[in-house]
Each structure stands twice: as structure tokens, then as C-alpha cells.
Amino acid sequence: MFGRFFKKKTAQIAELVTDITQETKSESESDVCSICFDVWTSTGSHRVCSLKCGHLFGNSCVKTWLANSPRCPECNDHALLDDIRIIRAKTISAVDNSNETILRRELEEKTKKLEELEEIDKRRRIQTNFIFVAFYSIYTLCYWLTVAFLIFWAAAIVHKGLDDGTHFVFEELKKARLEALEKLRELVSQR
Ligand SMILES: [Zn+2]
Ligand SMILES: [Zn+2]
């Protein structure tokens, strides 16, 4: 009776132990020697050590490996027995930030692109503003010239009547045009 009870208990305990071992293994898959796929230790023959390339292995495994082939089993870099360095740490864990690095690089690229686009946009806005100011100036000049002409014409009509006034205004315009042309010619000949 006791025999059966103990057998059952032992089986249960064994099951529990396997569960725990499996859990620890899956939790720390990166803490595994890639030669024997067993966890490395902080002391003893399978203590964790590294090669020149930075890859980690159990000491006994990597020694055996290098005796047969002078290359890192992970990255194939040239490696010698002398390159083996004991890692003096009780536990090794590293936060996997490879995704973070990729995201950060993407963010940097996007920020750079955004800055470039903003610069282009700024230049375009300055151009648009310049064109607008130029057109607006021409428009304002034409507007005030027309207003001045109309006031001049109205004043001439009031002083000399419709026909004489109009005749006077257009004669003045003709004179002004000829004078302007004369001045322009002078300027051109001076150069
Ligand atoms: Zn190993
Ligand atoms: Zn390596």
C-alpha cells in the first residue's frame, strides 16, 4: 500500500520537476550553449565563456569544438583556444532591444525626411510669397495709375468741357509718352 503511494508521489514530483525545467528552459532560451543546446553554468566545466566575436558557449563544448575546427560555431569567425574568455557573471541576461534599434533607426530616417520636406516647403512658400508680392505691387500700381488718370480726366472735363477736356488729356498723355521715350533714349545712349 505504501509502495503504491510512494510510486504515485514520485511520479508526481518527477512530472513537476520536468515542468519546472521546461519552463526555465523556455524562459531563457538565449542562455543556452548553441553547441550542446544545454544551459551554461557560472562555474564548472560547462561554465559560460566567449570567443573574440562575442558569442557565448559552454567552456567544455567550445574547447572540443575548437580542437576540431578553428571557427566560431555561430558566425564562422576565425577563433583559437587562446581566444576563449571566461565570463565571470552569476547570471547573464540581456534585454532584446534589436527591435527598438530598428525602430529608432526608422524614426531617425523619418525625422530626417520630414526635415527635408519642411525645408522644401519653406523654400516653396518663400517663392510663392515673392510671386504674390510682385503681382500685388503691379496690380496696385496699375490701380492707382488708373485712378490718377480718371481724376485728371474728370478735372479737365470740369475745367474745359467734355470735348476740350478729353482732347487736352489725350494730348497730355501723348506728350508724356514722347517725353518718357526721349528720356529712355537718353538713358540708353548714356550707357
Ligand atoms: Zn555546451
Ligand atoms: Zn561568433
- The closest of 68, 66, 67 to 55, measured between CA atoms, is 66
Q: What is the pLDDT of residues 29-48, one digit of tens each?
A: 678 999 999 999 989 999 99
- Domain boundaries in the chain? 98-190
Ligand nearest to the backbone CA of 73: 2
Is the pLDDT reported for residue 106 higher than 80? yes
Residue 36 one-letter amino acid: C
Ligand nearest to the backbone CA of 38: 1
The alpha carbon of 57 and the centre of ligand 2 are apart by a number of angstroms equal to 10
**Average pLDDT over all residues of the chain:** 87
- Residue 127: what pLDDT? 94
- Residue 95: what pLDDT? 78
The alpha carbon of 121 and the centre of ligand 2 are apart by a number of angstroms equal to 48
- Residue 18: what pLDDT? 62
The alpha carbon of 106 and the centre of ligand 2 are apart by a number of angstroms equal to 27
The alpha carbon of 56 and the centre of ligand 1 are apart by a number of angstroms equal to 10
The more confident residue out of 21 and 7 is: 7
Confidence of residue 50 (pLDDT cuts 50, 70, 90): very high
The alpha carbon of 77 and the centre of ligand 1 are apart by a number of angstroms equal to 18
In this structure, the dihedral spanned by the alpha carbons of residues 184, 186, 190 and 191, taken in order and rounded to 10 degrees, is: 20
- Residue 26: what pLDDT? 46
The whole-angstrom separation of Cα 100 and Cα 106 is 10
The whole-angstrom separation of Cα 32 and Cα 21 is 13
